[in-house]
Structure 1
Amino acid sequence: MLSKALLRLGAGAARHPWRVIAAWLVAATLAVLAAVAFGGRTADSMTAPGLDSQQAAELIGRAGTGQEGMTAQLVVTPLGEGATFFGDDSARTALTRLRTEVERLPHVLGASDPAGALGAGGDTAVRGGLVSADGRIAVVRVQYLEQSRLSAGDLDALVGLGDRLRAELPLRVEMGGNLFYAFSDPDGGVSELIGLLAAAAILFLAFGSLVAAALPIGMAVFGLTIGVATMTVLAGVTDVPAFAPVLGSMVGLGVGIDYALFVLARHREYLARGLDPHEAAGRAVATAGRPVVFAGGTVVVSILGLAVANVPFMTVGGVAVSIVVLTMVLASVTLLPAFLGAAGPRLGRAGRIARARRAGRLGRARRAGRLGRARRAGRLGRVGRRRDPEAGAVPAAGWRRWIGHVSRHPVPYAVGAAGLLLAATLPVLGLRVGLPDDGSLPQSRTERRAYDLVAEGFGPVTNGPVVIAADPAGDPGVLDRLVGAVAADPGIASVAPARVDRDTGIATLMVFPTTSPQDGATAATLARLRGEVLPTAIGDGPARAHVGGAAASLSDVGRRTSQRLPVFVAAVLAMSFLLLMLVFRSVLVPLKAVLLNLLSIGAAYGVMVAVFQWGWGGALIGLEATVPIVSFIPMFLFAILFGLSMDYEVFLLSRVREEYVRTGDNATAVVEGVAGTARIITSAALIMVAVFLSFAVADEPSAKMFGLGLATAILIDATVVRMVLVPATMTLLGRANWWLPKWLDRMLPRGPVGTDAESTGEAPRQRLG
């Protein structure tokens, strides 16, 4: 059913290419116009229902103290060598003007007044945390409205003011705060361009044709435009996290070019067999398009499974990324065959010319060598009797030699590769989730320079305050007890004066831990405040208090995702096992696939720990300091990586299954199936790795983690797993690969991914199972 539908869809798009291309142009235009008219900006709401930090945020919102809004801070120091705010009148005057100018900006509720505090005495300014003890550094903390009422224009206004005042005042001015985190444009544009250029180069090397290289790129650009525009419209309806556009671009480019690559490779095979371009495109979509639909669906289902964490921003982020993936799947089975139909027979001619040139350079000696290798390969049984149209090329012969070699020595290769991946996974035992702060940004960013100035003048603790929200509920002494108990905790450096709302009586305390936000001891301090300090101070009365702030929110989210991760992993594994069993009519093949995918993902986690927490090779991706893993990234990465790794599993095993149905010989099926897809899988993996690594050099630590984690897992999956462990384990299992109990075979419906013979109506030689 699916094969026939895809056959008609692909052939129809190839016969009427310009209609389909025009329809996609109209869709892209409408999506962009909708994004401009109705779209919103991303907004980071790192909370979840039921968390203590969420309850703190709700209390702060009720209090109306303004602390529920966005904040920024200007960190300044006199330019004169040795000058201080204590003794330099010009520096103090400039500080007064700075605050006055900031308070005139739109949507600013107010700003702290270090100059006024200095007027009351240097000790007063120091005790208030506004001026450093040596008088060299001052901080102007700016309070804005809540994020929903702000835009990137507010950040632009603040940055523009800073640029102007730097030229007019005798002060060095640096800026930071969550206003930057919320509205700084991610530097994904440059990363996307680098990824596209790398993908184009790899595609040209793989196909030897500019036309063939351009088609997947063009399809991916169309799909990404519509997907990201749709994501922007979604942001106008609900809070889409700031990492979603970067992650969507990363995954969308990778899977879009990959899917197009697999369909294009099949299309060229059919052209080489003499098929009409329209028929070749239809058959390519019917055969390679089925794994594309299945693999894309697996990616989407895996990502949507993030909903089990019950963390809204992760769920919405998963929906946003899924939209991009679904758009790429649709483009692969409609827009790409239209491109193929418009290109006509040129793709086949370009491929034959490139192969002829390669063959001509080899000379007779190479051809004689291939003949000898083919004779030796005869010992493998039927290997090599049926080859794809490019089998005479050296890469195909090289892959057959390699897979044949692994198949003749399966035990050492299986044990060695598995041991290597297990060793790479060991660092996961030291995985620590947390919140990378501005100290992890490069020195070129003003946020990093502001962080360093604050750390120099006040210590690193002031860069990560915690907010305690308390509702006295009629208990007049609870606030004093609360302040005293919190200040006495060994993990707390200082407590700012409480701000009390007159109408509600709700108080907010700004608390500064003795450790930085990304320090593991900060999480212990938060747990102690919640479990011991606050309950003791409040007692059995009706009063209540909750701990909030950015560090507390991400700590809470990290704890919840860690608790839900086992359930999520089990659900994804079970779903993948059942789908693969349905597709390949086997019990052991899906079990092996699940276990091998876990190995590659575990190794990727291990590499992330080694790079980000231990600092191994961090300088290569611009990491200037070690940081913990962002709390929500492990679960997000698992969802995406498991879905992406299933892509290669489906494409590879589909070809192996074709060979097994055709020949009934497991050795032939393994060698021919793996070797027949090796060049395409390797090219696809290189493209994904190039795209993901282009994001690993971004400034934001979370973008680096996503990029490096995805690139590492795909590289391991396409090399060690697909080219060593898969042929070794399938050789060891032999015909047991395709074992399926008869009672189970009768119960299972026919899967969406069949063989080439099934799609073209040819009867298989042997029934599986």
Structure 2
Amino acid sequence: MPGPAQHPSAPTASPTGTGSPDDRVPLSSALGRLGGFCARHPAAVIAGWLLILMASLVGRHLASPTFSDQVDLPGTASDRGAELLAASLPEAGRPNGKIVFHAGTGTVADRRSAVDLTLADLRGLPHVTAASPPVTSDDGRTAYTTVSFDVQLKNLGHDYTDRLDTATEPARAAGLGVAYGGDLEQVVREPADDKLSEGAGLATALVILLLAFGSVLAALLPLVTALISVGVGLSLVGLVAAVLSFATSSMTLAGMIGLGVGIDYALFLTTRFRQDLVDGRDPVDAAAHTAHTSGRAVLIAGATVAVAMLSLYASGLDFIGRIGLAGALAVAVTAGAAVTLVPAALGLVGRRIDRLRLRRPVAESGGRHDGWQRYACLVSRRPWTFLAVGLAVLGVCSVPMLSMRLGHVDAGADRPGSSTRTAYDWITHAEGPGFGAGANGPVLAVVDVSGARTPVVARIRDDVTAALKDTHGVASFSPVKASADKKILVTTVIPATGPQDAATGVLLDTLSGQTLPRALHGTGAHAYLTGAVAGQADFRDTVGDRLPVIVATVLILAFLLLMTVFRSVVIPLKAVVLNLFTTAASYGVLVACFQWGWGDSLLGVSEPVPIESYVPMMMFAIVFGLSMDYEIFLLSRIAEAWHRTGDNRLAVGEGLSATARVISAAAFIMTAVFLSFTASPTVVVKMFALGLAISVILDATVVRLVLVPSAMFLMGRANWWIPRRLDRVLPRLHA
């Protein structure tokens, strides 16, 4: 590929033809020296990591981490309503959950003595303040009691389920079915145990590594080092969770990301190491050179992922920010292991890395006649065609995103047979006031009458009652009652539809925006909706409002980092635009599979569900961070060739042919790891797993192998343009 004259900013090729001057002096950098040290003392470094792993596992066990999906939303209507309840009617605002009884034959009333004994035992449990008289369905076969607590349910711990089982034993002994619903899911729902998913993902990753490398040791090395680093990373998350309460999905998400990037980083380093061996370096020198070159790209890639994850704190929601913190901690440990543990392992195996062969091992680059080299030439000849096809694929995948509906996945989507799902179904299918799908998500309407004139308070009660009767979507509501201090009026509204139904969201908007304001107009009173469902609606709206802040934060930080690393304005601009396309496409697939129900049977989801409110925000940060991994690995090789030759076309072709194989293998591995987590019983974990898998495979194939090279071929030397004044003020940071 003949190119133009040498670009002024590109250094001349080394006289030996071995690359840039940095390539010939691998120990001149701190990373090179660190990699060389680890390769020369592999036993000590590996032993150190194993000691850290054991110590962190013990520490996590002793620390007793806590996980909860409780979200605080200060300043929202639901929060204000909760404050009013706590001040004037604390018993109504206390944390509570439902215990549901169901008679397979006969009625619940036939076992009244057993139910009464159960209620007495429940009232005697620690932290229980009340257990209401049972509300019974019209046919008498289903009943439930609302149990109130004096602490947040997340603080009871999952061991509290044993106490509930003991207290409800009389009802079970009498032949009644017993299930726990409502907010008791925080007690009975253990954090997802995804060991089977992880095992399946690791097995698939091993097969792909064997196919990619052709030798057993080369395939096992990335896997083993990734497992050690992920073990340390998750233990660190557990230690932090003893101080900061993380969401229940945090550990699984951190494990997914840590395992995926851990294998990827080790794969990139091992591939470069094997190429250096082919080029004639001795193992220690090759490990040092690998750390000096690819190690820099790994650290920058890891920093990009961590920064993207930590940017979630810009949402202003601790719940969201802490999930990002969990992922960032796992990635930070993984990146640290990549530049220490991996060089040590490479130094330990040395040239024996290809001893146990399944086929002829493949190094980083196959030479001029390599298939990827021919593919690069094809893209360079028809860049417009490849660009159009790639954009069309992403465009089609993005279409469903236009109908995305955010919400909360309720217990109706839990695993069939689980206690929470059983309680949900019994209440849904029973008939009578207080039953139906909406009874699984009652809404408390709190009217603050402290500022109203005394003569109109009675009229307010009547007006609110009349307004609720005339509101479409209200199945039933309790009598509007005043608190003892006469400062608030309270009623419990049962929607006609389930908590995750779109119609329930419409009802909440109608109640808060039209029904109650009209009923209270001119009285000086104000109404607030509170409770779990109202809180989830406020959370949805808050997340939706703050999503643009997260998007802007991530884009700006990524743009600045890439501009600093690659000394270009065009390259980071192209990167952020293409990553927006990738994110849109992955959102579209999520909507089609979960909201439209196209993947219900394959994913093990019993019904179409809305997209969990915080999933798009989390996915954007994670997808952007992970996609930057591949961007940095590809562009770092292109930049190497550009600085050596000054020929954009030659640089893009050389970088693509050198990294396409390893990027493809890495993407398939990460996709396999993520897809394995779709077997998780938690629907939100399934969403993350599928969304991340789709985004990775689209990014590494359509974007990284089609759109990036075709766009760079079209833009030519403009890829490397940066104003000289800006170039002088930016810090020097190279990948």
Same fold (TM over 0.5): yes
Q: CA RMSD in A?
A: 2.7
Q: CA deviation at 1:433?
A: 0.3
Q: CA deviation at 1:287?
A: 0.9
Contact 2:213–2:361 (Cα < 8 Å) also in 1: no
Residue number in structure 2 paired with 1:338: 344
Helix, strand or coil at the partner of 1:109: strand
Aligned residue among 391, 394, 400 for 1:421 = 394
Q: Does 1:132 align with 2:137?
A: yes
Q: CA deviation at 1:684?
A: 0.9
Helix, strand or coil at the partner of 1:518: coil
Q: Alpha-carbon deviations, 1:113-150, whole Å to 9, x = none?
A: 22xxxxxxxxxxxxxxx111222221232223322541
With 462-471 and 3-12 compared, the bigger mean Cα shift is at 462-471
Helix, strand or coil at the partner of 1:493: strand
With 243-252 and 742-751 compared, the bigger mean Cα shift is at 742-751
Aligned residue among 558, 569, 593 for 1:587 = 569
Q: Does 1:248 align with 2:254?
A: yes
Question: Which letter does structure 2 place at the counterpart of 1:480?
Answer: R
Q: CA deviation at 1:165?
A: 5.6
Q: CA deviation at 1:683?
A: 1.2
Contact 1:70–1:179 (Cα < 8 Å) also in 2: no
In the aligned structure 2, how far is the partner of 1:439 from the partner of 1:21?
47
Residue number in structure 2 paired with 1:157: 163
Residue number in structure 2 paired with 1:84: 107
Contact 2:214–2:361 (Cα < 8 Å) also in 1: no
Contact 1:94–1:171 (Cα < 8 Å) also in 2: no
In the aligned structure 1, how far is the partner of 2:589 from the partner of 2:178?
38
Q: Alpha-carbon deviations, 1:7-36, whole Å to 9, x = none?
A: 111111122222222322332233233323
Q: Does 1:641 align with 2:618?
A: no
In the aligned structure 2, how far is the partner of 1:206 from the partner of 1:165?
60
Residue number in structure 2 paired with 1:465: 442
CA shift in 2, pair 1:679/1:389, >3 Å: closer
Give matches, 1:735-746, under 5 Å: 735-746=717-728
Q: Alpha-carbon deviations, 1:586-610, whole Å to 9, x = none?
A: 2222222111111111100000111
Question: Which segments of 5 or more consecutive residues in structure 2 lack a partner in the other structure?
Answer: 1-21
In the aligned structure 1, how far is the partner of 2:486 from the partner of 2:616?
40
Residue number in structure 2 paired with 1:263: 269
Give matches, 1:529-548, under 5 Å: 529-538=511-520, 544-548=526-530
CA shift in 2, pair 1:745/1:105, >3 Å: same
Q: Alpha-carbon deviations, 1:248-298, whole Å to 9, x = none?
A: 111111111111111111111112223222221111111111111111111
Residue number in structure 2 paired with 1:10: 35
In the aligned structure 1, how far is the partner of 2:451 from the partner of 2:564?
63
Q: CA deviation at 1:513?
A: 1.5
CA shift in 2, pair 1:467/1:343, >3 Å: farther
Question: Which letter does structure 1 place at the counterpart of 2:273?
Answer: H
Q: CA deviation at 1:726?
A: 1.8
In the aligned structure 2, how far is the partner of 1:460 from the partner of 1:392?
64
Contact 2:98–2:183 (Cα < 8 Å) also in 1: no
Residue number in structure 2 paired with 1:146: 151
CA shift in 2, pair 1:337/1:690, >3 Å: same
CA shift in 2, pair 1:220/1:67, >3 Å: farther
Residue number in structure 2 paired with 1:364: none
In the aligned structure 2, how far is the partner of 1:499 from the partner of 1:24?
63
Q: CA deviation at 1:500?
A: 6.6
Residue number in structure 2 paired with 1:598: 580
Q: Does 1:566 align with 2:591?
A: no
Aligned residue among 90, 95, 99 for 2:115 = 95
Q: Does 1:206 align with 2:212?
A: yes
CA shift in 2, pair 1:97/1:403, >3 Å: farther
CA shift in 2, pair 1:230/1:399, >3 Å: same
In the aligned structure 2, how far is the partner of 1:165 from the partner of 1:402?
72
Residue number in structure 1 paired with 2:419: 446
In the aligned structure 2, how far is the partner of 1:703 from the partner of 1:512?
29
Using structure 1 for the length normalisation, give the TM-score: 0.85
Contact 1:198–1:687 (Cα < 8 Å) also in 2: yes
Give matches, 1:38-437, under 5 Å: 38-63=63-88, 65-80=90-105, 83-85=106-108, 89=110, 91-114=111-134, 130-147=135-152, 149-159=155-165, 168-181=173-186, 183-350=189-356, 353=357, 356=360, 390-391=365-366, 397-437=370-410
CA shift in 2, pair 1:63/1:402, >3 Å: farther
Contact 2:108–2:176 (Cα < 8 Å) also in 1: no
Contact 1:442–1:448 (Cα < 8 Å) also in 2: yes
CA shift in 2, pair 1:255/1:78, >3 Å: same
Q: CA deviation at 1:299?
A: 1.1
Q: CA deviation at 1:711?
A: 0.4
Question: Which letter does structure 2 place at the counterpart of 1:302?
Answer: A
Contact 1:3–1:287 (Cα < 8 Å) also in 2: no
Q: CA deviation at 1:611?
A: 0.8
In the aligned structure 2, how far is the partner of 1:260 from the partner of 1:499?
64
Contact 1:66–1:144 (Cα < 8 Å) also in 2: no
Aligned residue among 643, 651, 663 for 1:661 = 643
Q: Alpha-carbon deviations, 1:54-74, whole Å to 9, x = none?
A: 222333444563455543323
With 220-229 and 591-600 compared, the bigger mean Cα shift is at 220-229
CA shift in 2, pair 1:232/1:470, >3 Å: farther
Q: Indicate the percent of aligned positions where both proteins have the same amino acid.
A: 42
Q: CA deviation at 1:542?
A: 6.6
Q: CA deviation at 1:313?
A: 0.8
Helix, strand or coil at the partner of 1:346: helix
In the aligned structure 2, how far is the partner of 1:206 from the partner of 1:284?
19
Q: CA deviation at 1:474?
A: 7.5
In the aligned structure 2, how far is the partner of 1:319 from the partner of 1:61?
32
Aligned residue among 665, 670, 674 for 2:652 = 670
With 532-541 and 273-282 compared, the bigger mean Cα shift is at 532-541
Q: CA deviation at 1:504?
A: 9.0
Question: Which letter does structure 2 place at the counterpart of 1:34?
Answer: G
Question: Which letter does structure 1 place at the counterpart of 2:107?
Answer: T
In the aligned structure 1, how far is the partner of 2:60 from the partner of 2:31?
31
Q: Does 1:515 align with 2:497?
A: yes
Q: CA deviation at 1:674?
A: 1.0
Helix, strand or coil at the partner of 1:515: coil
Q: CA deviation at 1:429?
A: 0.9
Q: Alpha-carbon deviations, 1:49-105, whole Å to 9, x = none?
A: 22222222333444563455543323232222xx2346xx3x334433443343344
Question: Which letter does structure 2 place at the counterpart of 1:96?
Answer: D
Residue number in structure 1 paired with 2:19: none
CA shift in 2, pair 1:77/1:662, >3 Å: same
Question: Which letter does structure 2 place at the counterpart of 1:113?
Answer: P
In the aligned structure 2, how far is the partner of 1:5 from the partner of 1:500?
71
- How many residue pairs end up in the alignment? 699
Contact 2:182–2:440 (Cα < 8 Å) also in 1: no
Question: Which letter does structure 1 place at the counterpart of 2:461?
Answer: D
Residue number in structure 2 paired with 1:623: 605
CA shift in 2, pair 1:215/1:504, >3 Å: farther
Question: Which letter does structure 1 place at the counterpart of 2:182?
Answer: G
Contact 1:685–1:718 (Cα < 8 Å) also in 2: yes
Q: Alpha-carbon deviations, 1:490-532, whole Å to 9, x = none?
A: 3322223567765796665332112221122222222232233
Q: CA deviation at 1:462?
A: 0.8
In the aligned structure 2, how far is the partner of 1:67 from the partner of 1:276?
73
Question: Which segments of 5 or more consecutive residues in structure 1 lack a partner in the other structure?
Answer: 115-129, 359-387, 754-769
Residue number in structure 1 paired with 2:703: 721
With 495-504 and 682-691 compared, the bigger mean Cα shift is at 495-504
Helix, strand or coil at the partner of 2:664: helix
In the aligned structure 1, how far is the partner of 2:560 from the partner of 2:28?
21
